[in-house]
Amino acid sequence: MELYPALLSALRRLMGVALAVLVVTVTTARVEAQMVAVVVNGEPVTNYDIEQRIKLDQLATRKTPPRQEVLNELIDEKLKIQLLRRYNIDGIDKDVENAYTNMARRMRATPKQFSEQLERSGVLTDTLKSRIKAELIWNQVIRGRFQASFQFSDKDISAKLEVRKPDAAETVGYDFTLRPILFVVPRGSPPAAFEARRKEAEALRDRFQTCEQGIPLARGLRYVAVRPPVVKTSADLPPALREVLEKMEIGHLSNPEVTQQGVEIYALCGKSASAAENAPAKQEVRNELYKQVFEKHSKSFLQELRSQAMIEYR
C-alpha cells in the first residue's frame, strides 16, 4: 500500500517532465517558424513563409522544390509587390479577388470551398493570394514599362509563320456568336440533380432547330437562364472547342457541360470569317512573340531590382 502513493508521485513527476518537454518543443517550433530568413528592403521573409510556399508548390506540382529556390522566389515576390510604391496601379486587390474566384471556378468550387481545400492541405489563402498579387503587378509593370516592345507588325508575324507553318498562313478564322444557356442547379445538390438537368439539356437539343425558335423555347423552361450573346473568335477558343464550333451548324446547340452553377450549353447563332489578323495560327505566333519579349524584359528588370535592393540574409 505504501508503494501506491510513491508510484503516483513518480508518475506525476514523469508527466510533468513530458509536458515541459512538449511545451518547449512546441514553443521552439513556433519560434523557429517566426525566425526571419531574409529581409528585403526592410520587409521580412520568415521560415514560416518558406514552409507555406513549399506546401503550395507541392500541391501544384506534386514535387518538393529546393528550399533555396523557394527563398529566391519569395525574394522576387517581395520586390514585385514593392513596386506598388513606385507605380500607381489601381484596383489591384479587386483583381486579386477576381483571379482567385476564377481559379476556384476552374476547380468547380466557390472561393470559400477553395479556401477550405487549401487549408486542409496546410496552405493559407494569403499564401496563394500573395503569389497572384505579385504576378498581376509584374504583368502590368512589364507591359507598361516596355509597351513599345509588344507591338508586332503583320510583316513580322507573317514571316515567322511562313517559317514555322507555311500551310497555316492562309487558314481562315471565324467569329462565333454564342448564346449561353444555363440549366441552374442549386448549390450543394447531389450528382443526381446534375444528371437530371443534363437530360433536360439533351432534350432541348433535340427540339432546338434555330436560334429564333429555340431561344424563346429555352426561356420558357423552368430554372433556365438564357444569357446575352457573346462573340468569340477562333483565336480566343481552345483548339478542341474551336473544332466543334467550326463543324456545328448555325442554330444548333453544343454538348452539355457541367459547371459550378449547373449544366450549360451554347447555341451557335452566327458564324462569319474574322479579320485576317485574328486567324488562329497568327494569334498563336503573336502570343509566342509576346511571351519571348515578356520573358526577356522580365529577366533583365528583375536583375535590375535585385541589384538595387537591400537584401539581408539572416
Q: What are phi and psi of 252, to 5 degrees?
A: -110, 170
The answer to whether residue 308 is domain-embedded is no
Angle at 170 between CA 167 and CA 173, to 5 degrees: 120
d(CA 63, CA 298): 25
Strands 36-40 and 311-313, sheet pairing:
antiparallel
What was the pLDDT predicted at 278?
60
274/288 same-domain check:
no
223/181 same-domain check:
yes
- Compute the radius of gyration of the chain from its Cα atoms: 28
CB 302 within 8 A of CB 79: yes
CB atoms within 10 A of CB 191: 9
The answer to whether residue 112 is domain-embedded is yes
Minimal CA–CA distance to 84: which of 143, 138, 146, 147? 138
The answer to whether residue 312 is domain-embedded is no
Angle at 173 between CA 168 and CA 178, to 5 degrees: 150
* pLDDT tens by residue, the chain, 314 residues: 454 555 546 556 655 555 544 444 444 445 555 799 999 999 999 999 999 999 999 999 999 999 999 999 999 999 999 999 999 888 999 999 999 988 888 887 888 889 999 999 999 999 999 999 999 999 999 999 999 888 888 777 777 777 766 555 555 678 899 999 999 999 888 889 999 999 999 999 999 999 999 999 999 999 999 999 999 887 778 777 888 888 899 999 999 988 878 999 999 999 887 655 566 677 778 888 889 999 999 999 999 999 999 999 98
d(CA 268, CA 226): 13
Q: Is 121 exposed, middle or buried (0-12, 13-18, 19+ CB in 10 A)?
A: exposed
DSSP for residue 167? G
209/229 same-domain check:
yes
154/199 same-domain check:
no
CA 207 vs CA 56, 98, 213: distances in Å: 47, 37, 9
Domain count within the chain: 4
What was the pLDDT predicted at 234?
78
The answer to whether residue 266 is domain-embedded is yes
The HSE-up count of residue 22 (CA atoms within 13 Å, CB side) is 6
* CATH number for position 68: 1.10.4030.10
153/291 same-domain check:
yes
d(CA 200, CA 194): 10
The answer to whether residue 311 is domain-embedded is no
d(CA 218, CA 211): 10
The answer to whether residue 314 is domain-embedded is no
CA 4 vs CA 12, 15, 18: distances in Å: 12, 16, 21
The answer to whether residue 251 is domain-embedded is yes
159/287 same-domain check:
yes
176/157 same-domain check:
no
Minimal CA–CA distance to 200: which of 263, 260, 150? 263
258/242 same-domain check:
yes
157/291 same-domain check:
yes
159/189 same-domain check:
no
Please state the pTM of the whole predicted model. 0.64
Helix, strand, coil percent values for the chain (each to nearest 5)? 65, 15, 20
57/152 same-domain check:
no
CB atoms within 10 A of CB 118: 18
The answer to whether residue 313 is domain-embedded is no
- Residue range of the domain that includes 294: 147-163+279-302
d(CA 108, CA 92): 24
d(CA 173, CA 275): 7
Q: Which three cell numbers stand for residue 110?
A: 466557390
What was the pLDDT predicted at 20?
47
158/177 same-domain check:
no
The single-letter code of the amino acid at 29 is A
The HSE-up count of residue 139 (CA atoms within 13 Å, CB side) is 11
* CATH number for position 263: 3.10.50.40
Strands (E) in the chain, as ranges, are: 36-40, 43-46, 174-184, 224-226, 230-233, 257-258, 262-273, 311-313
